[in-house]
Structure 1
């Protein structure tokens, strides 16, 4: 499956998910499997936990949309799952829950040699992330943050 078809399929599935108050977090297509595997990772738009029933309920409309799209002309296995427990912090709930915990912040600064910062999660606003690095609060603009993950602090 080429990039354009994957993008089309993902857009179709996003529309279906929206009807069910879900979001598509990721669509993986494993073409090295026989039959190929489509793994759709979903989350609820209201940030509630995704249950097994939610995954099962989304399976039928997702399957129908895939079949009706004619983008896949081969056998496939469809797997619907939740994000599960992840070290990556993404939701407001994550930031509230893990305030004070050690985090690794991956930066996307093009003009800096610093690509990672480790510290304790201090505060998150819509514009910046604050972490405590050895007693000093460092504010990092969100446009420079690529990923925030739980970690263990290194001395």
Structure 2
């Protein structure tokens, strides 16, 4: 598949996605497989999670538009999926869901050599993040936190 047809296909899929209030995170066409594989990763425009039902709902209209376009003259497999779960915690929902889970906190402390902390996610407020490090609660002001990610707990 040439670049021009790939671009046409991407634009076509974006139009279908917009009709469902979805956005295309990525579109990957694996021409080295037989049949070729078209992978479409979706997200909802409003930020909500994509469900399996959403993927199934999108499959038929996307496939129909691909067929009508005549951009592909070969058989293909269409795979629709969501972005999945990120290791980085960003939303209030993430902090509630993963309370008690092991986290790695990357710090932005200019006056300290300490750059990372590992512990169990304990609490998040508007001003600080609290993690449990071997039974002791450490409160870290948010202006010192660069990133909070799920991890495996290190001893």
User: What's the TM-score bracket when you normalise by the shorter of the two chains?
Assistant: 0.5 to 0.7
Quote how far apart the aligned CAs of 1:133 are: 7.5
Query: Can you list the C-alpha shifts for 1:2-40, whole angstroms capped at 9, x where unaligned?
Result: 677656544442332222133334333323310111122
Match of 1:34, SS state, is: coil
Quote how far apart the aligned CAs of 1:132 are: 3.3
**Please, what TM-score do these two structures have when normalized by structure 1?**
0.59
In 1, distance between residues paired with 2:129 and 2:4?
A: 38
Query: Can you list the C-alpha shifts for 1:82-111, whole angstroms capped at 9, x where unaligned?
Result: 345x3535655333311342224689xxxx
Question: Match for residue 50 of structure 1?
Answer: 51
Match of 2:32, SS state, is: coil
Query: Closer, same or farther in 2 for the Cα pair 1:30/1:118, shift >3 Å?
Result: farther
Query: Can you list the C-alpha shifts for 1:51-85, whole angstroms capped at 9, x where unaligned?
Result: 3x32222112212333455554433110123345x
Question: Match for residue 78 of structure 1?
Answer: 78
Contact 1:99 1:123 (C-alpha < 8 Å) held by counterparts? no
Quote how far apart the aligned CAs of 1:41 are: 2.7
Question: Match for residue 131 of structure 2?
Answer: 132
In 1, distance between residues paired with 2:23 and 2:69?
A: 19
**Please, what TM-score do these two structures have when normalized by structure 2?**
0.59
Query: Can you list the C-alpha shifts for 1:110-130, whole angstroms capped at 9, x where unaligned?
Result: xxxx997644444387xx994
The worse-fitting range, judged by mean Cα deviation, of 115-124 and 19-28 is 115-124
In 1, distance between residues paired with 2:139 and 2:81?
A: 37
Question: Match for residue 94 of structure 2?
Answer: 94
Question: What is the aligned-residue RMSD (CA, Å)?
Answer: 4.2
Unaligned runs of 5+ in 2: 108-113
Unaligned runs of 5+ in 1: 108-113
Max radius of gyration: which structure?
Answer: 2
